[in-house]
Chain A
Amino acid sequence: MRIVSEGLTFTYNKKTKFAKKALDGVSLVIEEGEFFGIIGHTGSGKSTFIQHLNALIPVEEGTLKIGDRDLSASVKKSKKKKFYRELRSKVGMVFQYPEYQLFAETVYDDVAFGYKNFFPEAKKEDIDAAVYGALEMVGLSREQAGKSPFELSGGQKRRAAIAGVIVTRPEILVLDEPVAGLDPKGKRELMALLHYLHGTACKTVVIVSHDMDEVADNCTRIAVFSEGKAVMQGSPAEIFSKTEELVNLRLDVPVTAYLSERLEEVGTKIETDYSVADFTEKTIKAYGGKSL
């Protein structure tokens, strides 16, 4: 499913004195199969945008299509409401610190809750298959499924929360700051899990992140949000070569982009996608070529 938004606009607390325009004409395309990164300051509209993707926030102004489902403002509410449930099972949403939302007595029950919500008629064996399948995908065992979520470590809790979302087999998985608060090893493992899910359970992965290095290392394409607009979009190579624009938006640049810029000032242009692996490989090549 392709995500196409045009002129998406949204105001919180409309018609009150606290009115705040969170989205101001977002036009953005996310192709099926991408590992897409959304970056931008706190308050730039990132979270408001992703909440539109599974109709947690109904479209107020502008157009939004998820595959062939049209959520645009022009489409009648009654018509849209019919496919909301199906849409929400196809677009999985993992919020920030999702482990705080675990509530059931066992990990199994927590993961099953999501499934039963979407498929109330499901038989016990179908639920079992879906739940254990989801837990296996995030790397939690059958033994852990029987435990209380509070007996798990921080990283495991987050995995359990993700299992509760992928249990409906969404085609698009959207995660708001998936690695926030984890320790370095936990971060690495969770990013590896997202790449694994991207290749197996879910076609498209969309992450919201503050960490430019992480985005440079992981994403196929990026959108930069600022003041409610998607002001830049493109591949990491395209986005991070425009360091000046990013700095003007008061955003950081990945360390690789910083180093590339310095090297270019002394006459060495490194053509890279700004991931650490690619940047170091190209720099080593450039140096080898020069020193010969």
Chain B
Amino acid sequence: MYAIEFENVSFSYSGTDVNDNLTKTEEVLSDFRMKVEKGAFVALLGRNGSGKSTCAKLINGLLVPTSGKVTVLGMDTQDKKSLFEIRKKAGMVFQNPDNQQVASIVEDDVAFGPENIGMPREEMKKRIDYALKVTGTEEFRKAQASRLSGGQKQRVAIAGAIAINPEILILDESTSMLDPKGRREVMSVIRTLNREEGMTVIDITHYMDEAAEADAIYVLNEGKIAKTGTPEEVFSDAETLERCGLELPRAALIAKKLKEGGLPIDGVNLDKGGLSEKLCELFRKV
């Protein structure tokens, strides 16, 4: 069983005028297929409007496909009876931390989800303690959420999402409003959850460095999959990157330019540490 499976999924938004007549439909996803293994870390890339966020909303049943089928841990999102279960299993964190905060005190905010699903008190206490601990937000559990930094708030949002013990975590540009430090904090929490707790992660992002750490990347363009593969495979495909409005991670861009200038550097070089070793090796030799 896959954690998430999209089978030939299409989705159209339709608009209505004041008299509720259907005005126009716009297909944002067409014939989309994706299989995500349990415990995988998958990045979704693509320019604004390419269908990434629609994809995220289809996973936890906020939207249902116009045609095709989305299955989450074997449950069909169109089956209304499973919807509650699906949303328990697929937590979501959005872009703006201020928009997803419900209570003023951190631990109350984290408790909102477990309370909603009627989790028994003893278990709830354990889950909240765990969620605060794994996201590194224990120290301000009694603090006012509004007084935290962006990175801290977003970690609280993640704590809230994982407090209901989901198996899948969906991040919809969750690091885009954070400064580099906040981004690092959040990504390190995500890595821990993925690697140590086996949580399946879907990361929708504009940061290429973030995507470079994923197990697999899906590139979306105009509602279709333009490319899928490992970060190395995707970032070595210059034509796709150009066509889909993406860019190389910084280190890879520098490596590419140096190679074009005649330096014998092989590979895609997604990380600066690896590239620096290769460069130093080259300069030591001559």
- Give A contacts to B, CB under 8 Å: 41-43, 153-155, 180-186, 188, 210-213, 250, 252, 254-256, 258-259, 262-263, 265-268, 276-277, 279-281, 283-284, 286-288, 290-291
**Do residues B181 and A276 form an inter-chain contact, with CB atoms below 8 A?**
no
- Is B76 interfacial (CB 8 A cutoff)? no
Q: How far is the CB of A123 from chain B (nearest CB, A)?
A: 37
Q: How far is the CB of B243 from chain A (nearest CB, A)?
A: 10
Q: How far is the CB of B144 from chain A (nearest CB, A)?
A: 12
Which of A250, A286, A287 has most B Cβ within 10 Å? A287
- Is B229 interfacial (CB 8 A cutoff)? no
Closest to B283 in A: A268
Closest to A43 in B: B149
Question: What 1/0 mask marks residues of chain B from 147 to 172 whose CB sits below 8 Å from any chain A CB?
Answer: 00110000000000000000000000
Q: A180-B176, A181-B176 are in contact. Are A288 and B262 (CB under 8 A)?
A: yes
**Do residues A290 and B286 form an inter-chain contact, with CB atoms below 8 A?**
yes
Q: How far is the CB of B224 from chain A (nearest CB, A)?
A: 17
Contacts of A283 in B (CB 8 A): 258, 261, 263, 279
Closest to B149 in A: A42
Contacts of A281 in B (CB 8 A): 261
Contact pick for B280, options A186, A265, A276, A284, CB 8 Å = A265
Contacts of A211 in B (CB 8 A): 180
Docked CA distance A263–B282 (Å)? 10
Q: How far is the CB of A210 from chain B (nearest CB, A)?
A: 5
Contact pick for A280, options B149, B246, B258, CB 8 Å = B258
Which of A185, A213, A250, A277 has most B Cβ within 10 Å? A185
User: Could you pull out 5 A-B pairs where Cβ atoms are within 8 angstroms?
Assistant: A183-B206, A185-B47, A213-B250, A255-B250, A263-B279
Q: How many A-B residue pairs have CB under 8 A?
A: 105
- Give B contacts to A, CB under 8 Å: 46-49, 95, 149-150, 173, 176-177, 179-182, 206, 208, 245-247, 250-251, 253-254, 257-258, 261-263, 272, 275-276, 279-280, 282-284, 286
**Do residues B280 and A266 form an inter-chain contact, with CB atoms below 8 A?**
yes
Known contacts A183-B46, A254-B250; 19 additional CB pairs below 8 A are: A41-B179, A42-B179, A154-B48, A180-B176, A181-B176, A183-B48, A183-B245, A183-B246, A185-B245, A186-B245, A210-B179, A258-B276, A262-B279, A266-B284, A268-B283, A276-B253, A279-B254, A284-B263, A288-B262
**Do residues A255 and B272 form an inter-chain contact, with CB atoms below 8 A?**
yes
Contacts of A185 in B (CB 8 A): 47, 245-247
**Do residues B47 and A183 form an inter-chain contact, with CB atoms below 8 A?**
yes
Docked CA distance A155–B276 (Å)? 35
Q: A210-B180, A279-B254, A283-B263 are in contact. Are A184 and B272 (CB under 8 A)?
A: no
Contact pick for B286, options A43, A280, A291, CB 8 Å = A291
Q: How far is the CB of A274 from chain B (nearest CB, A)?
A: 11
Q: How far is the CB of A275 from chain B (nearest CB, A)?
A: 11
Docked CA distance A213–B209 (Å)? 13
**Do residues B206 and A182 form an inter-chain contact, with CB atoms below 8 A?**
yes
Docked CA distance A283–B286 (Å)? 13
Contacts of B276 in A (CB 8 A): 258-259, 262-263
Closest to A213 in B: B250
Docked CA distance A227–B129 (Å)? 33
Q: A255-B250, A255-B272, A280-B254 are in contact. Are A262 and B263 (CB under 8 A)?
A: no
Q: How far is the CB of B192 from chain A (nearest CB, A)?
A: 21
Q: How far is the CB of A277 from chain B (nearest CB, A)?
A: 8
**Do residues A153 and B48 form an inter-chain contact, with CB atoms below 8 A?**
yes
Docked CA distance A154–B206 (Å)? 13
Contacts of B176 in A (CB 8 A): 180-181
Closest to B150 in A: A42
Contacts of A259 in B (CB 8 A): 254, 272, 275-276, 279
